[in-house]
Copies of this chain bind each other. A is one copy, B any other.
Amino acid sequence: MASIDACLSVTQKILKQKKTCRKLYSIQHLLSKRNQSSLSQNDPEKYVKPDIDITLCKSTKLNDNVTNILKSCTQIKFGTIFTDHMLKIHYDKHAGGWQKPYITPMEHLSLHPAAKVLHYATEVFEGMKAYKSEHGHMNLFRPELNLQRLNSSAERVGLPAIDSGVLLRGIERLVSIDNEWLPASAPLSLYIRPNLIGTEGTLGVAPTNTALLYVIMCPVGSYFSEKFKSVRLMANPKFARAWPGGCGDFKIGANYATTLYPQEIASKLGCHQMLWLYGEDRQITEVGAMNVFIFYKNQNGEKVLATPALNGMILPGITRQSILELTREWDEFRVEERIFTINELIELNKNNQILEFFGTGTAAVISPVSSILYEDRNIELPTMEQPNPLYARLFKTITDIHYGRVAHPWTRVVDERPHLYESQNYKYAN
């Protein structure tokens, strides 16, 4: 009941916003208004001290060429096209901590060559997305969970935590300004990358006294705009992604560089991703940079959806958490968080008990797996042969929420109206 009430409240909020949000305050709109000043600092009713400084591009990089690429969204290679602006927030321990956020044209960073991020991987990041609804609103998906995880990752590598509310307001302003990078007609989304780095230019292995949190954005195509494509995995027990007492449950740079070499071996063997195993019993832990789910029939003929439990080696994925919450609410099959070994997978698969095997994450949402190369044997999985697969139903349920086709409490509609105080406080880059 609580959930239905929450949905109704969100629906009402969206409808209300639809009425008031007449015009998106995007970069194009703001550029056209460049010389029109509507509010006065002398009007105390309307002028509020800004909590974010905004300097806009002289002109947007969004031109016909880019727009055409965006429209044919299959051509977009993930993470290669960036929007016009970025958000920056500096931290300086000896100057009171976090400084005032500002939005600036996308630009290179100037870093001391001894900056800790460049030597000791003092870096944590998040991956989130904004989606344009059919009403023209920009939606975020459970952003508070990303920002909570960012702070927990930061603590693990000696970086300072940040006020989630301040960061979220900054991200919303950035999304709002660059929202026209998502053409309403295409199944695109705006990939949002908050990144927090240690900038202190000293060589000691020590926590950093200065840091920079910045947010950049890329328009990205849907992994599955027409039909699902399945992937083939390599499971090689020689490589472990994470371990007890390590950092596998945090979103830190250190967890990624080390995957490139095994990934290269996988690619050479015709596999798309690694299936990460752990321990003597070869537990299934993650797929590439995604969480993993196994849908199968147990000995009693019951359907079970299983995923590795959060035991310190598994990234607490937000898509993972959402799938667990959704399927537990559906209450149509058993849902288990537990250890799942590759031998159990092989055994169940032999007895035709495996139904589906898929990865989950923000980038692809859901990625079905059709086969696993493991110690010179091929494990062929029937994921793509199910008549009404669970993975497709989950994909539709979640993307319907993303694009606001279904009202849901997990959606956060970005308030695209600039706050009153901003109107005349935009600066324009030279």
Contact = CB atoms under 8 A, between A and B. Distances in A.
B261 A156 contact: yes
B218 A191 contact: no
B156 A79 contact: no
Given A254-B253, A261-B155, A203 B237 contact: no
Contacts of A207: 260, 264
Interface string A223-254: 00000000000000111100111110000111
A205 B260 contact: yes
A94 to B, nearest CB: 14
B123 A118 contact: yes
A174 to B, nearest CB: 13
Nearest to A117: B118
A109 interface: yes
Interface string A147-163: 00000000111100000
A122 B261 CA distance: 11
Contacts of A197: 118
Contact of A78 (B203, B239, B244): B203
A258 interface: yes
Contacts of A16: none
Interface in A110-167: 110-114, 117-123, 125, 155-158
Interface in A12-34: none
A395 to B, nearest CB: 21
A257 B264 contact: no
A158 B261 CA distance: 6
Nearest to A120: B256
Contact of A216 (B113, B155, B255): B113
A243 to B, nearest CB: 4
Interface in A324-373: none
Contacts of A260: 120, 122, 157-158, 205-207
A121 B120 CA distance: 8
A117 B117 contact: yes
Nearest to A82: B114
Interface residues of A, number: 63
A158 B205 contact: no
A106 interface: yes
A120 B237 CA distance: 22
Given A114-B193, A114-B216, A119-B123, A257 B158 contact: yes
A119 B256 contact: yes
Contacts of A109: 110-113, 118
Given A113-B106, A204-B77, A157 B121 contact: no
A257 B254 contact: yes
A254 B113 CA distance: 17
A202 interface: yes
Contacts of A264: 158, 207
A110 B118 CA distance: 12
Contact of A214 (B86, B113, B205, B247): B113
A253 B113 contact: no
Nearest to A259: B205
A157 B123 contact: no
Interface in A258-289: 258-261, 263-264, 289
Contact of A113 (B108, B155, B246): B108
B239 A258 contact: no
A86 B112 CA distance: 12
Shortest 5 CB-CB contacts between residues of A and residues of B: A79-B203, A158-B260, A240-B245, A243-B243, A254-B254
10 contacts: A113-B214, A113-B216, A118-B253, A121-B123, A205-B259, A243-B243, A243-B246, A252-B257, A253-B253, A253-B257
Given A120-B260, A206-B263, A246-B246, 10 more contacts: A78-B203, A79-B202, A109-B110, A109-B118, A113-B216, A119-B125, A121-B121, A158-B261, A158-B264, A253-B257
